[in-house]
Amino acid sequence: MQPAAPYPTRTTPHFQVRDVDFAYPDGQPVFRGLNLAAHAGEFLVLLGPSGCGKTTLLNLLAGFMQPDRGHVCLASAAVQPENPALGYVFQSPQLFPWLNALDNVRFGLRMAGHHDAAEQRERALHYLALVGLADAAGRLPHQLSGGMQQRVALARTLALEPTVLLMDEPFAALDAITRMKLNEETLRLWSLLKQTVIFITHDIDEAVFLADRVVVLAPAPGGIRSELNIDLPRQRSQATRRLAQFAEYRNTLTECIAGLQPAACSAP
Ligand X SMILES: Nc1ncnc2c1ncn2[C@@H]1O[C@H](COP(=O)(O)OP(=O)(O)OP(=O)(O)O)[C@@H](O)[C@H]1O
Using CB under 6 A as the criterion, which residues of the chain lie in contact with ligand X when the complex forms?
24, 26-27, 30, 48, 50-56, 220
CA distance 52 to 55: 9
CA distance 261 to 68: 26
Min CB(107)–ligand X separation in Å: 26
**Looking at 1, 40, 55, 267, which residue binds Mg ion (CB under 5 A)?**
55
Min CB(199)–Mg ion separation in Å: 12
Instruction: Pick the closer one to ligand X by CB: 27 or 259.
Output: 27
Q: Does 92 bind Mg ion (CB under 5 A)?
A: no
Instruction: Pick the closer one to ligand X by CB: 123 or 225.
Output: 225
Q: Which does 259 bind (CB under 5 to 8 A by kind): ligand X, Mg ion, none?
A: none
Is the distance from CB of 40 to CB of 76 less than 8 angstroms?
A: no
Instruction: Pick the closer one to ligand X by CB: 197 or 200.
Output: 200
Q: Which does 51 bind (CB under 5 to 8 A by kind): ligand X, Mg ion, none?
A: ligand X
The number of C-alpha atoms within 13 Å of 37 and in the hemisphere containing its C-beta is: 15
Is the distance from CB of 162 to CB of 89 less than 8 angstroms?
A: no
Q: Does 240 bind Mg ion (CB under 5 A)?
A: no
CA geometry: angle 36, 38, 40, nearest 5 deg:
160
Secondary-structure breakdown of the chain: helix, strand, coil percentages, each rounded to the nearest 5 = 35, 25, 40
Instruction: Pick the closer one to ligand X by CB: 103 or 168.
Output: 168
